[in-house]
Amino acid sequence: MSQADATLFYRHGRFRVAGGVLPDALTAYRTYGDPSNPCIVFPTCYGAKLDNVGLLGQDYMIGADKALDPTKYYIVTFALFSNGESSSPSNTAAPYNGPYFPAVTYEDNIRAQYAVLTQGLNVKKIHCVIGFSMGAQQAYYWAVMYPDFVERYVAICGSARTSPHNKCFLEGPKAALVNSRDFENGHYTQEPQFGIRAFGRVYSAWAYGQAWFREHGYLMNGRYSSLDDFIRASWEGGFLGTWDANDLLTLLHTWQTGDVALIGKAGLVAEGDEASFVSALSGIKARGLIMPCKTDLYFPPEDSKNEVALMKGTAELVVIDSLWGHMAGGGSNSHDDEFIKGEVRRFLARELPVLNLLAGADKAAS
């Protein structure tokens, strides 16, 4: 009943996205467990692939001894558009290939995933959407876009809206890549190694908390001989040979434009519209578990606290007390993995109370 060892592809045909049209859109996915069990959706983050090749994999939370037990749940993992497995600049035929690939939003991805679940897999309801980083942002989108289809969601090291601070950071690796001497405005004919190496180095700077470098140390018990060795092996090596440069940029744009306030608005509201943002979060029906890391430099816990305060008592905040920064949520170390597993399993096992939005609002205000 499981397709854990095989990546499957759902063909959408002609599919509209924010930047235009994909003439033959594909969504890549894998399934784990028995489809008669409650469904858990686990979408990819930045740098992740379903086949576990490259920087990050997508099965680090799946297993009988892990947070998501495939003997109890039917787990569906989804690849984001432009991750190289779903429709991407690198695998789409002309005239939409490479730099001509249209811009894609989280909203486009969730619509596509909903089609796979309802039309391809006959899923009637999602027990939980869980994600890390960009996967966490997708969890928020699921809860806002399909309020009667999603029972609960878990957002690990992510946010409902990409902050200006986060967007500013992303301009760094983007600039390093597009201004490299071998990027050729996206029309490269071989891997632009100078650009991808520069991208990886800039990207690495904020992946860990500052205290991690001071107290844990990049040498990692002799695994690396120097800081340069760490960056080259872990970050340059994580992207080289497995990630296409145009894919990296298109996916980065999806991250930068994340904002649940924009769902369904098609440009009718301004970016950062506070009234629409408050309305989107306060209207969520699903129960939420929001898990930022104390030392995350991409998605700081202060942003999560502000978002939870807008959710009318439907979400709880659990901060990961870790030195590992953003990477605490991505399967980087056993201590944080165990903490996350415990909190996620507790949340999944909990009986959901009948939601009383008015009572929740009163509680949040008190």
For position 226, what pLDDT does the model report? 82
The model carries a pTM of 0.92
For position 218, what pLDDT does the model report? 57
For position 361, what pLDDT does the model report? 39
**Identified catalytic residue from 133, 159, 204, 322:** 133
Q: Block means of pLDDT (10 residues each) for the chain, length 366 residues?
A: 76 97 97 97 96 87 97 98 98 97 98 98 98 98 97 98 95 97 98 97 84 65 79 92 97 97 73 85 96 95 96 95 93 94 96 53 37
For position 364, what pLDDT does the model report? 37
**Identified catalytic residue from 163, 204, 326, 336:** 326
Burial of 58 (0-12, 13-18, 19+ CB in 10 A): buried
For position 1, what pLDDT does the model report? 42
**187 is an active site residue:** no
Residue 279 half-sphere exposure, CB side, CA atoms within 13 Å? 12
Under 8 Å between Cβ of 315 and 308 = yes
**Identified catalytic residue from 108, 244, 296, 337:** 296
For the four alpha carbons of 86, 264, 148 and 57, in that order, the dihedral sign comes to positive
Strand order in the sheet with 74-78: 8-17, 20-32, 74-78, 39-43, 126-132, 152-156, 287-291, 315-317
**12 is an active site residue:** no
**326 is an active site residue:** yes
User: Comparing C-alpha atoms, which of 127, 95, 119, 122 is closest to residue 21?
Assistant: 95
For position 358, what pLDDT does the model report? 42
Q: How many beta carbons lie within 10 A of that of residue 73, not counting itself?
A: 20
